[in-house]
Amino acid sequence: MSGSIATRTGDDGSTSLLYGQRVTKDHPQIEAVGAYDELNVALGAVKPLLTDAAVRTLVSGLQNNLVALMGEVACAEADTTRYADSKFAKISAADVSTLDAAVAALEARGLKFDGWATPGANALGAAFDNARVVARRAERRLCALPAHGRSVRPELRQFTNRLADLLWLLARQAEQ
- What percent of the chain has a predicted confidence (pLDDT) above 90? 78
Q: What mean pLDDT comes out for the span 106-114?
A: 80
128: left (phi over 0), alpha (psi -120 to 50) or beta: alpha
**What does the domain layout of the chain look like in residue ranges?**
28-111+121-175
Q: 45 vs 20, which has greater pLDDT?
A: 45
pLDDT of 113? 63
| CATH number assigned to the domain covering 28-111+121-175 | 1.20.1200.10
| Cα separation values, 20 from 8, 71, 169, Å | 15, 13, 39
**pLDDT band at 112; cut points 50, 70, 90:** low
> 89: Cβ–Cβ under 8 A, 6 or more apart, which residues?
64, 67, 68, 71
Q: Taking 90 as the threshold, does the pLDDT of residue 20 lie above it?
A: no
Q: What mean pLDDT comes out for the span 70-79?
A: 96
The DSSP annotation for 19-34 comes to TS-EEETT-HHHHHHH
The structure's pTM equals: 0.91
> Which tens digits make up the pLDDT trace of 25-34?
899 999 999 9
